[in-house]
Amino acid sequence: MYSAKLVMASAIWLSVGSTYTQAQEGQLIGESNPVRFDWSDVGSVPTAMPQFASGMLILPHRAGPSDPQFSLYSRDARLVGHVRVDIPEAGRTAVLGLAPLRNGFVVSAMAISGSERVGVLCFLDAAGKLRKIVKTEPFTPDLITVAADGSIWTFGAVDHENDPTSTANVLYHFTETGELLRSALPRNLFGKEPPTYLSTELGQPVLTSAGSRVVLYSYVIPLPNQQIRGKTATDPMKMMGLALTESGAIYGDLTGGENSGIYELDRSGQNWVPISPDVKEKVGNYLLLGGDGEDLVLGPTGPRNTDIEVHRIRLRSRFVQ
């Protein structure tokens, strides 16, 4: 029933230790007019970087005690709704991620009561009302995506002490109702830093899905040359965004020095191949927010308190026909 396959973007499809080739010309095959998203109604609530998934722009908030934790917008910039999750009987709810379901949303979170911390999946209806809570302990889900078959994939932590020698798995796969299907990827693969650690030097881990595939990117695998590099060893690159198309092409937004730009992953050659520099010049200094069908969705380089312009481009893949 659940048929989504995991693809990992690195030398073992997890971290990126690959080489670079020359930029490829003539890759841009489509571009749409920008769409302006207005969230002035929540302009007083600080925001984090938006993401695009399952046909929606997901705007995370650094929420206060009564603020929404997420605002959701359709492709055409219509407000779908605001979401806030407060787990009953928990002293505090730490919300970590959100993904749209067929008839609602699923939120990865941690219920905190004193020194007790319990990982949970929270299931919400289309109106954002909390309908069900599934405990996932000892695992705490963080990054979350819903595959096309409806199953839920999460990437997180197995304890709160961050034991780098632990053999417990940190990737969990659930049914659309929260029943555990399987787990994979032991914690000891990921070195000293927590698997979902956001690095100021190397960027962020990403979990995304499209079609029959799920892609996990992480930079902390302790492999030779695991850091993303440009043409010289003194030009480190940072992963700022990742997109997976329906046909299976994987694109990364790498920044750092003169080699910054959008790259396509050649999985067979384990290389990130840069796209022609004029691709990003057409939409300015924008970052990759995610994929939508065969399109790449790009937004501004930092959070905005009132509105943003979102661009959409389509590239001709060199590695997926």
DSSP helix/strand/coil, 47? strand
CA atoms within 13 A on the CB side of 202: 21
Res 46: pLDDT: 79
In the numeric block, which tokens belong to residue 173? 């796969």
CA dist 310 to 283, 290, 301, 315, 321, Å? 9, 11, 11, 17, 27
- For residue 243, the SS3 value is strand
Return the CATH number of 5-315, one of 2.130.10, 3.30.200, 3.30.70, 1.10.1060.
2.130.10
Q: Which two tokens stand for residue 131?
A: 């309908």
Predicted pLDDT of residue 111: 96
pLDDT of residue 7: 66
Q: What is the pLDDT of residue 23?
A: 43
Tokens 């571009």, residue?
31
Query: Residue 303: its pLDDT value, please?
Result: 59
> How confident is the model at residue 39, as a pLDDT?
80
The string of DSSP codes covering 17-84 is --EE-PPBSS-EEEEEEEEEEE-GGGTTS-B---EEETTEEEEEB---TTS-SEEEE-TTS-EEEEE-
Per-residue pLDDT of the chain (321 residues; tens, 9 = 90+): 677 766 655 433 333 333 444 444 437 777 888 898 888 787 678 788 889 999 999 999 888 888 899 999 999 999 999 999 999 989 999 999 999 999 999 999 999 999 899 999 999 999 999 999 999 999 999 999 999 999 999 999 987 777 889 999 999 999 999 999 999 999 988 878 888 887 777 778 899 999 889 999 887 655 443 443 333 322 467 888 899 999 999 998 888 777 788 888 887 777 788 887 666 666 667 889 999 999 999 987 665 666 788 889 998 888 886
Q: According to the model, what pLDDT value does residue 196 have?
A: 87
Which pLDDT score is estimated for 260?
80
Q: How is the chain split into domains, by residue range?
A: 5-315
pLDDT at 205: 87
3-state per-residue secondary structure call for 164-229 = CCCCCEEEEEECCCCCEEEEEEEHHHCCCCCCCCCECCCECCEEEEECCEEEEECCCCCCCCCCCE
3-state secondary structure of 41: helix
Residues 255, 261: Cα–Cα separation, whole Å:
6
Handedness of CA 280, 283, 285, 287 (dihedral sign): negative
Q: Quick one: pLDDT at residue 238?
A: 81
**Amino acid at site 19:** T
Do 312 and 36 contact (CB within 8 A), yes or no? no
Q: What is the pTM of this model?
A: 0.88
